[in-house]
Amino acid sequence: MVSERQLEAIKGAKVLMVGAGGIGCELLKTLALSGFQDIHIIDMDTIEVSNLNRQFLFRQSHVGQSKAKVARDAVLKFRPQMSITAHHANVKDPKFNVEFFKQFNVVLNGLDNLDARRHVNRLCLAADVPLVESGTTGFLGQVTVHVKGKTECYECQPKPAPKTYPVCTITSTPSKFVHCIVWAKDLLFAKLFGDRNQENDLNVRSSDAASSSDHAEDVFVRRKDEDIDPYGRRIYDHVFGYNIEVASSNEETWKNRNRPKPIYSADVMPENLTEQNGNVAKNCVVDTSSVSAMASLGLKNPQDTWTLLESSRIFLEALKLFFAKREKEIGNLSFDKDDQLAVEFVTAAANIRAASFGISLHSLFEAKGIAGNIVHAVATTNAIIAGLIVIEAIKVLLKDTDKYRMTYCLEHITKKMLLMPVEPYEPNKSCYVCSETPLSLEINTSRSKLRDFVEKIVKAKLGINFPLIMHGSNLLYEVGDDLDEVEVANYAANLEKVLSQLPSPVTNGTMLTVEDLQQELTCNINIKHREEFDEEKEPDGMLLSGWTQAPPAKDDKQSMNDKQSIGNGGDSSNALQTEPADAVKDGEMEEISEPSGKKRKLSEGSKASILDATDGTRNHKEVEKLDDDDDDDVVMFDDLDSMTNKKKRLQ
């Protein structure tokens, strides 16, 4: 039963919901049925057919429409007295600034990617608004509470980088099907249908080209008036035949490995079999989402594993369809897991390469999951997590700090529990977001350009969207609509200069200040010059450090084994023993943190009420997009006036 105090807090609350996908649909429904009256929803996505199996507020007729708006309309049908404001927009849009966030009592996240989560976390910190985070992946889920100054923020623990593979493994010595998928998606698909001017590690020299000529023909370029069938076979023979022959000729490489077998199109299917593939009309108006090589060839079940012959036919048919029906897109395409033809092409190419290297072939369904980093959604998990979000949101509204819990939804009963509550951790003093701890960057200041620093560190690692970079009182780089032409030209010129040659040189020992005006985040970075980097282990040519996992509290002497667990009874020590997944769910970004670490107390005042902790070394593990819904870095200005003026620019 809801108490009068709880009911009053619920009815008077103004709630911001970010994300209206799998978790978001369940959350909006639960908020409405719990009595919440004023809700804003932000989601930039539109409804897709694949969403309908779990995002129950949507119907077939809604495909292509705004998720936020359709979710609002669906809930208003059974709760017409509510005030629900839908924003079909990106939460990173400038209009959703700190002032916008300040109007809410609590923010509830149902997001799908690390970048957006970090952005919302920083805005909540700047606005001093509590944040309830969530994530699911298959049967696993979690809900965490983040309150400024009381609990750790979302970024207090470093998030693991997306899984990467050495280029040499992908191009020369694949041993797993995922290696073949990465090759087909990031190299072959990108080379054929993406920007051909981008660097690519595929061998483009054909067997009949001049052996060492710098002007040898790029085999991937379609010759003038060349029919698609011979072009397709030429590509097939080059990447699965000639390139494999070249790779297998290195005796040293295959001394302790199984040597791959070249596959040529004529070995798999005769010339006339290509002609039996589907006939397609060129340049007709067509819905690209309906273009399918499987349909053309009469293959229906995506869970069937194709044979080498079927994979070869799909490969050539998909190539033909791209040139016949989507030729205008060629040169600008990037792989999309929701692009049926792209998934078919990548699956077929990966299977042919797998056959060459003696790796098991996979179905389209399996390959799509690997290529799109997908763990297929479970609607029930979303519903459970949505309920837990609302429970924590009510605690936040009542300011029941001692009752906040991080709750983990487990796949199997562990210690007599399927839901494992853990008390929140205190803020990490080494967190660059909610603390004032400077970071350290090892970089070759004589070789790396400012552009490298901006793209690889400021944006990619720190998640800063509107960077302002200063060396002391000297402004090295800034973005903004209010900059004049001279400033824009100066900053553009700085981007192309190596760090040591900037107007205010950046060398060993330099302290750079990086600020994001929208997020109201400031970060100091200490530069350390380093000459050489390992290209395989440190491909960026720089190493960011200083953002470390918080050490256990020194006065926390009582281990989990000495304490009583919250919930169903029993000990929750090491309860969640899951392997880190390299995937995200087919709908929301799914991130699972593993609660297996030393407890850090919130405060002396809350000590008596805390019953649950975990033992050992705390290690957050996260599933990353590792970015796609429905798909994963402080010192203040001394000059207050200059800071205020810069903030006004953004507004």
The residues assigned a catalytic role are 168
Per-residue buried b or exposed e for 511-550, using 16+ beta carbons within 10 Å of the residue's own CB: ebbbbbbbbbbbbbbbbbbbeebeeeeeebbbbbeebebb
Compute the distance between CA of residue 481 and CA of residue 487 in angstroms, rounded to an integer.
Answer: 11
Distances (CA, A) of 38 to 147, 210, 243: 21, 70, 61
φ/ψ region of 154 (left if φ > 0, alpha if ψ in -120 to 50, else beta) reads: alpha
260: DSSP letter: P
Residue 405 sits at the vertex; the CA angle it makes with 431 and 580, to the nearest 5 degrees, is: 65
Closest among 496, 484, 494, 520 to 650, alpha carbons compared: 520
CA distance 190 to 448: 27
Q: Find, among 644, 606, 393, the residue nearest to 517 by Cα.
A: 644
Q: What ranges in 4-60 are assigned the alpha helix state H?
A: 4-12, 22-34
H-assigned helices in 466-557? 485-495
In the block, tokens 């600008």 appear at 332
**Cβ neighbours of residue 314 closer than 8 Å, sequence gap 6 or more:** 293, 294, 297, 299, 306, 344, 345, 347, 348
- Could you tell me which residues are beta bridge partners of residue 77? none
